[in-house]
Structure 1
């Protein structure tokens, strides 16, 4: 079973300077239901750590203090 699962897993690789979208992780009641946004605005990858931890910054260069896991990110191609 593990071999079949691992065959479908896609490896995600982020480099400093990549543009990414951060997934909205908090579930808030919204009147839009299934039409609510699933991703936040775009961010820039500042630093990548071993194990999938990533430090993001806004597009204007201000750095966020929180680490984000790579599972909650998606590459953004403008």
Structure 2
């Protein structure tokens, strides 16, 4: 399954679970759950997607019924002044997008640092015998009762960053390096 679709669906499902009592009327609450999801700031970017596209905040249905200060201010502007203010806002859209890019890079650095705390680096030498782990998402995976390791293999080359080029015991070198 595509992970870019899976994460939002999981989040929307969590929102729906909090909103409904029984599973029969979830479809009636779905528009409200989607509105909540679409108007919430994302952790990675620190911004609401609507804000990044249109450089203005979303007007939720409640604000139409009970006008907020922002809505009252915009309603009192004449057309020419509203257009001028909107044009100024759109001029700042590139600046806002750059702020989001910086925020995303900082977030990725924080996540990488947290992940790398738990990574143990291992140093390999040429001609050392090693086993290769078989992960469930690999082609070699045969099910939960199959072995978790393949090998032994011989380390043919040691590359930077912990990657190695393996070879079969008979000397046949692999085309790809593995990490």
The two structures share one fold, judged by TM-score above 0.5? yes
Asked whether 1:59 is paired with 2:176, we answer no
Paired residue total? 64
Match of 1:35 among 142, 145, 166: 145
Moved over 2 A (4+): 8-11, 27-30
Q: How does 1:1-78 map to 2 (within 5 A)?
A: 6=117, 9-25=119-135, 26=138, 30=142, 33-69=143-179
**Which gives a bigger RCO, structure 1 or 2 (Cα 8 Å, sep 6+)?**
1
Answer 1 or 2: which has greater strand percent: 1
Change (3 A) 1:28 1:58: closer
Give the C-alpha shift of residue 35 in structure 1: 2.5
Answer 1 or 2: which has greater helix percent: 2
TM-score, normalising length: structure 1: 0.65
Bigger Rg over Cα: 2
TM-score, normalising length: structure 2: 0.31
Q: Distance in 2 between matches of 1:12 and 1:65?
A: 22
Q: Distance in 1 between matches of 2:144 and 2:151?
A: 18
Change (3 A) 1:28 1:62: closer
